[in-house]
Amino acid sequence: MLSFPPAIQRLIAELARLPGIGPKTAQRLAFFLLSQERVALAELTGAILAAKEKIRYCSTCCNLAEEAACPICREGQRRRDVVCVVQDPRDVAAIERTHDFRGLYHVLHGAISPMDGIGPEQLRIKELLSRLSGGNVQELILATNPNIEGEATALYLARLIKPLGVKVTRLAHGLPVGGDLEYADELTLARALENRREM
Amino acid sequence: MRVEELSLTSFRNYSREKVSFSPGLNYIVGKNGEGKTNLLEALFILATTKSHRQALDKDMVKIGEGQFRVSARIIALGVDRNLDLGYDVTLRKKVANVSGFPVTKLQDFIGIFNVVMFSPEDLALVKGTPSDRRRFLDILLCQVDKVYFRLLQQYTHVSRQRNEALKLIARGAMKLFDLKPWDQQFAALAQRITLRRFQATERLAASFLSLTDAINRGKETLSISYSSSLLAATASLDVDGVARELERHQREDLKRGTSSIGPHRDDLKFLINGLPAAAYASQGQQRTAVLGLKLAELKYMQEVTGDYPVLLLDDVLSELDSSRRQMIVQVLMSDVQAVITGTDEDDLSLQGVKPALVLRVERGKVVS
Ligand SMILES: Nc1ncnc2c1ncn2[C@@H]1O[C@H](COP(=O)(O)OP(=O)(O)O)[C@@H](O)[C@H]1O
Ligand SMILES: [Mg+2]
Ligand SMILES: [Zn+2]
C-alpha cells in the first residue's frame, strides 16, 4: 500500500474502517471509486451526507426517522399499549415483515456489554423509562437478540421495569418453523424443551 | 467405530501420505522423531478439531507449506463416512467436510469420530493441575454431548463479561445493580455444566473402580470424584442455589475481578483409600490411575454412543508393567480398534495379543 500516492492511501484507510471491509476489499473499492465519473462520486458523497443530516432518532421510539416521529409511531391504527423492545432498527424491519405485530417499538441501539464498554447509559433506556412513565404502556415485549448480550439486556430491563407494574414478556426461544426436529441444533432444542408450553 | 484409511497432506513432517488401518490392533513403530505421534495427532484432530498436545493450528502445517489437510474414511455405527479437515495459514481458518458436504459450523464436526488418547503427558494427570483434569472431562464430554460444547462456549463468554463487569464495578465505573444479568446467566450455565460433569464422573467412577481393582486386587482402593465448590455448597444443585452462592462470594469476586466459584474452578480428584492422591501417589499408583481413567473413558463413550471409540496409545506401553498391560489387553480382546506407537517391536510383548498390522515410520513416511 505504501507504493500508492498519499491521497489513495488515505481513501483506502477510510474505507477499511467500514464494518466488514478488510484491507483488500478497501483497495478494490478505492480503485473502483477512482475510475468513476466526478458526477457519480458527487452523487454518492451527497447521499451519504444527506442521510447523515436528515436522519435522526424518532422522539418516541428512537427508531431512525426523517421527522420528529417515525412513520410507525405516526400510524393511527397501531396499538399504543404494547411496545416491542429491539436492539437495532433492522430488527424493527424484520418484525414488520411478519405483518403480525400491531404495537409500537422501542429501539435500544445496542446491547449491554461490559467488554465493549457498553452499559445501560449508552443505550436508549432513559427514553424507554420516560415513555413508560406516561402510563399508557401495558405490555413490554423484550425482543433483544437470543445471545448472551441480548439476554443480559433483557434480564436487566425486566428487573428494572417489572416493579413499575408493566407486564414484561420475552420473545420465546423456539424451534425453526418448517424444519425437522431431527436437524435442529442441540442447544435450540434444549431451550425449546425448557420453554415448552402446555396445550 | 473404526478408521479405515488416513490421508495427510502437508501435516507436520508428512508431505503426502496415505495409511490403511486394520480393524484390530495397529502398531506403529519407529525411532524417536520420525512421525509416530503426528499420525495419532491427525486422528485426534479429526475427532476434536484440535491437537491433543494443545499445539497451535499453524504449527501443525508442514514447515514451508501454507495449509494442511487431514482426511479419513471411518465407519461409525456401521455407517461409512469421509471426514476431511483442512487449515489455511493465511486465512487462519479451518474448513471441514463430511462425506463431501461442507460443515458450516466447525462444532458440528466434533464427535462424528470418537477417540480416546493416552499419551506420556497424561501420566502426569494425577499430580498435574486441576485444569489438566478438567480438560480431560471437557474433551470427553464435547465428543459425546453437543449441548455440552455449546454450554462451555457460552460459559467462557459469560465469564469474561462478568469479570469485566466486576472490574468496572470495583472501579466505580458500573453500578452493582447491573451485575445481576451476568450473575443470572453465569448461574444457569454453571449449574448445567457442573451437573453434566458430575454425572459423567459418577459413571466413570464406577468403571474406574472395577478397572483399577483388577490391578490392585483389594490392596488399596483407587477412586475418582468430581469436586465442585457449588456441589459442596448447595445440597441440590439448582440455579437459585448457584445464584445465592454467587451473591455470597460477591465481595471476594469484586476484589479479585474474577469469579471465585464455578466449574472453571472445579477438579476431578483422584483418591487412594479415600485420601487425595495428588499429594502422595507413587509412580505405579499414578500409572494405574491414569490407565484406569482412560479405559473408563473408553467404556463411557461406548455406553453413550453405542460404539467403541478408537483407542490411541502413544508411547505408553513401554511405561507400563505387565499387570497394567494386561488391563489394555483385556480391552483389545473386545471390539476395540487401537492404534499404538512404540520405538521397539519387542515392546509389544502383549500377552497373547498380536498386532494385526505393523506400520514402520521413517522421517515422515510410512515405509511398510
Ligand atoms: N510443522 C512441522 N513441519 C515439519 N516437521 C515437523 C512439524 N512439526 C513437527 N515436525 C517434525 O516431526 C517430527 C516429530 O514427529 P513425532 O510424530 O512427534 O515423532 P515421534 O515419532 O517421536 O512420535 C520431528 O522430526 C519434527 O521436527
Ligand atoms: Mg512421539
Ligand atoms: Zn417512532
Q: Where are the domains of chain A?
A: 6-54, 78-170
Best B109, B144, B147 residue to mutate vs chain A (most A CBs within 10 Å):
B147
The answer to whether A105 and A84 have CB atoms below 8 angstroms apart is: yes
The answer to whether A105 and A111 have CB atoms below 8 angstroms apart is: no
Nearest to B161 among A114, A120, A154 (CB): A114
For residue A21, the model assigns a pLDDT of: 92
Q: How far is CA A7 from the centre of its chain?
A: 35
In sequence order, what are the residues at sequence separation of 6 or more whose Cβ sits closer than 8 angstroms to the Cβ of residue A128? A85, A106, A108, A157
State the sign of the Cα–Cα–Cα–Cα dihedral B144, B150, B155, B160. positive
CB count in 10 Å sphere of residue B218: 6
**In chain B, where does the domain assigned CATH 1.20.1050.90 lie?**
120-306
Helix (H) / strand (E) element for A54: namely helix A38-54
Q: Closest Cα to residue A78, out of A137, A128, A134, A135?
A: A137
For residue A1, the model assigns a pLDDT of: 53
CA distances from B292 to B81, B121, B197, B334 (A): 31, 15, 18, 16
A37-87: pLDDT as tens digits: 999 999 999 999 999 999 999 999 999 999 999 999 999 999 999 999 999
Q: What is the CA radius of gyration of chain A?
A: 22
Low-confidence ranges of chain B (pLDDT < 50): none
Question: Within 13 Å and on the Cβ side, how many CA atoms surround B243?
Answer: 11
**In chain B, where does the domain assigned CATH 3.40.50.300 lie?**
1-114+309-368
For residue B289, the model assigns a pLDDT of: 95
* Contact state of A152 with B161 under an 8 Å Cβ cutoff: yes
CATH code: domain B120-306 is 1.20.1050.90
Cell triple for residue B59? Answer: 504449527
* Contact state of A186 with B146 under an 8 Å Cβ cutoff: yes
CA distances from A195 to A143, A174, B35 (A): 16, 8, 51
Alpha helices for chain B (secondary structure H):
36-48, 130-144, 146-170, 180-216, 229-233, 239-248, 250-256, 283-305, 322-333
Measured between alpha carbons, how far apart are the two ends of chain B, in Å?
24
Separation of CA B34 and ligand 2 centre (Å) = 8
Q: B65 has which bridge partners?
A: none
CATH class of A78-170: alpha beta
Fold for the domain defined by A6-54: Helicase, Ruva Protein; domain 3 (1.10.8)
pLDDT at A179 over 90: no
**B13: Cβ below 6 Å to ligand 1?**
yes
Q: Which CATH superfamily is domain B1-114+309-368 in?
A: P-loop containing nucleotide triphosphate hydrolases (3.40.50.300)
Helix then strand then coil, in percent of chain A rounded to 5, is 50, 10, 40
Question: Within 13 Å and on the Cβ side, how many CA atoms surround A177?
Answer: 1
- E strands along chain A, which residues? 56-57, 64-65, 82-86, 104-107, 139-142, 167-170
Taking contacts as CB-CB distances below 8 angstroms, the residues of chain A near B165 are 114
For residue A59, the model assigns a pLDDT of: 95
Beta strands at B79-88 and B357-362: parallel, antiparallel or unpaired: unpaired
Going by alpha carbons, the residue nearest to atom 5 of ligand 1 is: B13
For residue B94, the model assigns a pLDDT of: 97
Q: How far is B146 from chain A (nearest CA, A)?
A: 6
A82-137: pLDDT as tens digits: 999 999 999 999 999 999 999 999 999 999 999 999 999 999 999 999 999 988 99
Q: Which ligand is nearest to the CA of A61?
A: 3
Q: A86 has which bridge partners?
A: A107
In sequence order, what are the residues at sequence separation of 6 or more whose Cβ sits closer than 8 angstroms to the Cβ of residue B191? B230, B237, B238, B239, B241, B242
Task: Put residue A62 in one of left, alpha, beta given phi > 0 → left and psi -120 to 50 → alpha.
Answer: left
Rounded average pLDDT over A163-177: 90
For residue B267, the model assigns a pLDDT of: 97
User: What DSSP state is assigned to residue A176?
Assistant: P
Longest dimension (CA), chain A: 69
Taking contacts as CB-CB distances below 8 angstroms, the residues of chain B near A159 are 177, 180-181
Give me the residues near ligand 3 (ion), CB cutoff below 5 Å: A 58, 60-61, 63, 70, 73
CA–CA separation, B317 and B322 (whole Å): 9
